[in-house]
Chain A
Amino acid sequence: MLLSVRNLRTYFDEDGRVVKAVDGVSFDLERGETLGIVGESGSGKSVTNLTIMRLIPSPPGRIAGGEVIFDGRNLLALPDEEMRKLRGRRIAMVFQDPMTSLNPFMRISRQLTEVTRLHLGHGKAEAYEHAVHMLEMVGIPDARKRAEGYPHEFSGGMRQRVMIAMALSCKPELLIADEPTTALDVTIQAQILELIKNLKQETGTSEILITHDLGVVAGTTNRVVVMYAGKVFESAPTGELFSRPGNPYTKGLLQSVPDPTCDTKELFQIPGLPPDVANLGPGCPFAPRCFRAEAICKEQFPPFVALTPSHHSLCHFADEIYKGAS
């Protein structure tokens, strides 16, 4: 087991209210595997991963509980200095917005060499050659010359390639990609996903792919975790999640993916909006939007039902939904 997140809770204190952005999230990741985390914006998927990296701005954020076991050690209990040495070296991150995630005042080459000189002890020349090599690997044409440029001289897709080159330059064991394609054009999206997939295979890196787009998850992940209102709603192997979802929310998500083979069907939308995670009632946070909701859903928090040893769902009617889907 490379990474095991246990009952993670991250809260934000805002204007005297406590926003429970991540509330009791657990999942596991094996070496070489890819885990997809899917959810609407505000579901806590990004916060979960920033918590793993311990990059939550504090205040207002605080890690209220749980464990992040990475390669046998609890990251949340590590001294700051140890954690810092891990970042970029063994766990690397690619962020959503490539336009603002690179330092606009610094040459691309410097932004890349900075990591390897820090973590791998590269000398100036060695780091530079490695940077050029990495840029070539992510498919930047004329890499040696482009390395001297600044981020604003690159297109969005090219910048995301630079981000990936930077993240992978120390051959990390875990890559966290936080919506790596959301800000990009559709054609570029596919290229970037393909690139990450290939590089991952080459380097044997494990990956957490965060996205709101189920389509992205389908082709690239082994397992999927569906998050809603800071909680894990369903966790299953990718194939099974798509064929036999055990949660009404997942079902709704699946139905709202456009089906290219059937253009007459009207696109489904889950009614309503995600809840305010600062004021959740005692019941299921999805109940107000759920097609299957009954009185119990509003009163009692649903159980996390094991449908199979590797398939769990947070729902009072998980079995029924699971069986009905078959």
Chain B
Amino acid sequence: MLRFILRRLLITIPMVLVVVSVTWGLIRLAPGNFYTGEKPIPPAIEKNIRERYGLDKPWYVQYGRMISNTLHGDFGISLKYQGEPVNRILKNALPVSATIGVLAYLLALAVGIVSGTLAALRQNSNLDYTSMAAAMIGISLPNFVLGPTLVLFLSLTWYVLPPALWGGPRHLILPVITLSGVYMAYIARLARSGMLEVLRSNYIRTARAKGLAERHVLIRHALRGGLLPVVSFSGPALAFLLTGTVVVEKIFALPGLGNYFINANLNRDEPLIIGIVAFISIVVLIFNLMVDIAYGFIDPRVRY
């Protein structure tokens, strides 16, 4: 078990380096540069910038420096936000994205598991049909439609909640709901089909034949197996959740990682791009590892 975790953590390092290298390669292969923006920059200033950021060195020196920066966890200084270290930007933007992301996923888990399980228990009832229709809408409704629609009604028509920007807890509600919609829907569907399969299984029949009360059959015997698909979904889901955050942060004008990432790309701010890509890759990989460990705890058949 411990060896498994160590091995996985060790694999994480080269994986992050590969992701970062691919990103770096893309940036370098692309035509244009940070300083080939709309306004032409005088050659003297361009030379200054190149020297300051080491862009005058051969590519392998720059690549080596980027890799060494990544390994040290220090991504240098942003090109766009002059003088601002990338690490400080990450530190300020992370709480925004993390809060929304974590809350959204927790909300999705809670609502998805409860409605999916209830739907499975009352298969073919109106409750089942309603929640599965809602889930289907959740999967099909892009969050850039859901979010602004919520804003239109709750903020611009009824003035219940703030429409955008980062502030108190009330500012969290709409972004979190917007982000969690799709995951809620997916989890509800997974929980339903997982529970249905388990509820039909022989070992549940055994549990009933033992005379256990139906709620014990459900809680002690069925939930574990029935929710395994939700657990294994959670790993890859996080990678997507981060993409979703980009959109939600744009809709609600939130100063999170996603917004910085998009702006960094539009501004060709290489250190910031590399920093965010490396950071998010690490987070996603570690989260995947945690999901795999959790899976092992839930299912004794899994071996490391």
Contacts and interface: CB of A to CB of B under 8 A. Distances in A.
Nearest to A50: B205
A87 to B, nearest CB: 4
Given A101-B203, A103-B203, A105-B300, A93 B212 contact: no
B9 to A, nearest CB: 27
B92 to A, nearest CB: 43
Contact of B224 (A105, A150, A163, A166): A105
Given A105-B299, A152-B300, A152-B301, A95 B202 contact: yes
Interface string B175-202: 0000000000000000000000000111
A10 to B, nearest CB: 16
Contacts of A57: 200
Given A100-B202, A103-B203, A118 B301 contact: no
A165 interface: no
Nearest to B223: A105
B206 interface: yes
A100 B201 contact: yes
Contacts of A163: 206
B213 to A, nearest CB: 6
B207 interface: yes
A114 B220 CA distance: 10
A102 B202 CA distance: 8
Interface residues of A, number: 29
Given A104-B225, A105-B299, A152-B300, A114 B203 contact: no
A183 B205 CA distance: 17
A85 interface: yes
A105 B210 contact: no
Interface residues of B, number: 22
Interface in A80-129: 84-89, 92-93, 95, 97, 100-106, 114-115, 118-119
A85 B209 CA distance: 10
Contact of A93 (B201, B209, B220, B221): B209
Contact of B205 (A55, A89, A166): A55
A87 B211 contact: yes
Contact of A100 (B203, B210, B220, B224): B203
B203 A84 contact: no
A197 to B, nearest CB: 21
A152 B299 CA distance: 11
Interface in B205-251: 205-213, 220-221, 224-225
A89 B212 CA distance: 10
A84 B225 contact: no
B71 interface: no
B300 A150 contact: yes
B203 A118 contact: no
A118 B212 contact: yes
Contacts of B299: 104-105
A236 interface: no
A101 B212 CA distance: 15
A85 B211 contact: yes
A53 interface: yes
Interface in B91-124: 124
A93 B207 CA distance: 10
Given A55-B205, A95-B202, A152-B300, A103 B211 contact: no
B298 interface: yes
Nearest to A150: B300
Given A104-B300, A104-B301, A152-B301, A87 B208 contact: yes
Contacts of A59: 124
Contacts of B206: 93, 95, 101-103, 163, 166
Interface in A168-196: none
Given A150-B301, A152-B300, A152-B301, A104 B203 contact: yes
B208 A55 contact: yes
Contact of B211 (A102, A106, A118, A150): A118
A143 to B, nearest CB: 19
Contacts of B202: 95, 97, 100-101
Interface string B48-78: 0000000000000000000000000000000
A127 B208 CA distance: 19
B23 to A, nearest CB: 41
Interface in B269-283: none
Contacts of A118: 210-212
B98 to A, nearest CB: 32
Contacts of B210: 87-88, 92, 114-115, 118, 166
Given A84-B213, A118-B212, A95 B205 contact: yes
Contacts of A102: 203, 206
A84 B211 contact: yes
Contacts of A100: 201-203
A216 to B, nearest CB: 21
A115 B106 CA distance: 35
9 contacts: A85-B211, A87-B208, A87-B211, A100-B202, A101-B202, A103-B203, A104-B299, A105-B225, A115-B211
Given A101-B202, A103-B221, 11 more contacts: A55-B208, A57-B200, A59-B124, A87-B208, A104-B300, A105-B224, A105-B298, A119-B211, A150-B301, A152-B301, A166-B206
Interface of A: 53, 55, 57, 59, 84-89, 92-93, 95, 97, 100-106, 114-115, 118-119, 150, 152, 163, 166
* Top 9 closest pairs, chain A to chain B, by CB: A88-B211, A87-B211, A88-B210, A100-B202, A150-B300, A103-B203, A93-B209, A101-B202, A105-B224
